[in-house]
Structure 1
Amino acid sequence: MSAPITVRRAGALDARPMAELLNEVIARGGTTAMTAPVSAEDLRGWMRVPRAIWHIAEDDAGALLGFQWVEPHTRLGDSVAQIASFARVGRTGLGIGSALFEATRAACRAEGYAWINAEIRADNEGGLIYYQSRGFEDYGHIRDYRLGDGRTVDKVLKRYDL
């Protein structure tokens, strides 16, 4: 039996543990386009983007299991939410992403977004499976996306209509 997962809106005080979790994911490599560590202040700045919606998932002891956020897509317009999802290394497949997406989907509808855009590294099999299992559909690709460290990867574009 898995431990209960609680999802709630993230706040500024959650930025430090979220940055620590994200830095573990970045250091491991292969699942995010981010290549440089982030700080709690970086995340607090991202949280201040107008119409950004942030959720965290915690276990029954209050330990951070993962987080997810959306913000208006810079190129596709304010009706499109750009999503990012992160689970603690070694804790995927436990329902964290499902719980987060239920909250994010409802919040996006309430905020008036028309659809959610996901850009997943083509070599991130787990991410591709995650978004597909939530009902996201492929609609395009980005070829030779340049990462911050100079490497290039392809990305798969997926959308979820609200």
Structure 2
Amino acid sequence: MPAITLKLSVRDLTRDDLALCGWAGPPTHLTHVASALGRRRTGGVDYLAVCPPSGHPVALGGVDYAVVADAGTLWQLTVHPALRSCGIGSMLIHALERRIVARGLRRAELSVEEDNPRARKLYERLEYVPCGQRVEAWDTEGPGGSPVWYETVCTVMRKDL
């Protein structure tokens, strides 16, 4: 089968993009993303989208500057399920790392759920190293759209930039 090449670009995610991101998770997740976009105006976060020529996001994620004083914390990283393992996640993470460096910071951190070895392999390939564990929790949606509280153990990973 011949390879397909697609030109991708990285840009700031906008509120208008959220209507095109139903693939990114349940509506609760997109509500959290919308809230994060509100913090961008104050400089608390950057939030990016990776897009093909159509301009429709196929990956998105953010960096929060308020979690750790001397680092940017990558969070809410996701790639369209049909396009995973194509290098798009790496492209997104590198763009977020450039935003961190542009802020004068020299370290990135992220956390990955213990039961997500595929993501952890990506982060290790990008030179993130484990530096601890913590329990993280957030509200999400259960069966039938009912609200549920999700709690999980995550490995904290760090990279010097």
TM-score w.r.t. the length of structure 2 is 0.78
1:21/1:66 contact within 8 Å kept: no
**Count, aligned residues:** 146
Q: Conserved in 2, the CA contact under 8 Å of 1:53 and 1:107?
A: yes
Instruction: Rate the CA distance shift 1:89–1:114 in 2: closer, same or farther, 3 A.
Output: same
Q: 1:81 aligns with which of 67, 72, 79?
A: 72
- Aligned-residue Cα RMSD (Å) equals 2.2
- Pair 115,47 (structure 1): closer, same or farther in 2 beyond 3 Å: same
Matched, 1:13 2:3: no
- Larger RCO (CA under 8 A, 6+ residues apart): 1
SS in structure 2 opposite 1:48?
Answer: helix
Q: Sequence identity of aligned pairs in percent? A: 14
TM-score w.r.t. structure 1 length?
0.77
SS at match of 2:99: helix
Q: Residues 152 and 51 from structure 1, CA distance in 2 versus in 1: closer, same or farther, beyond 3 angstroms?
A: closer
Helix, strand or coil at the partner of 2:82: coil
Call closer, same or farther: CA 1:147–1:13 in 2, change over 3 Å. closer
Match of 2:160 in 1: 161
**Quick one: distance in 1 between partners of 2:7 and 2:95?**
15
Structure 1 residue 128: Cα displacement: 0.4
Q: Aligned residue for 2:49? A: 56
Query: CA 1:150/1:129 → structure 2, altered by over 3 Å: closer, same or farther?
Result: same
C-alpha deviation, 1:101, in angstroms:
1.8
What is the alpha-carbon distance in structure 2 between the residues aligned to residue 92 and residue 121 of structure 1?
17
Give unpaired runs (5+ residues) of structure 2.
Answer: 140-147
Matched, 1:72 2:74: no
Q: Secondary structure at the residue paired with 1:118?
A: strand
In structure 1, stretches of 5+ residues that fail to align are 27-35
Alpha-carbon distance in 2 for matches of 1:62, 1:97: 17
CA 1:124–1:73: 2 relative to 1, 3 Å: farther
* Equivalence map 1:13-162=2 (5 Å): 13-18=16-21, 20-23=22-25, 26=26, 37-39=28-30, 42-49=32-39, 50-74=43-67, 76-77=68-69, 79-84=70-75, 85-142=77-134, 145-146=136-137, 148=139, 149-150=148-149, 152-162=151-161
2:7 to 4, 7, 10: 4
- 1:81 and 1:63 map into 2 onto residues whose CA distance is 26
Moved over 3 A (4+): 144-152
In the aligned structure 2, how far is the partner of 1:21 from the partner of 1:99?
Answer: 19
1:147 deviates by: 5.3
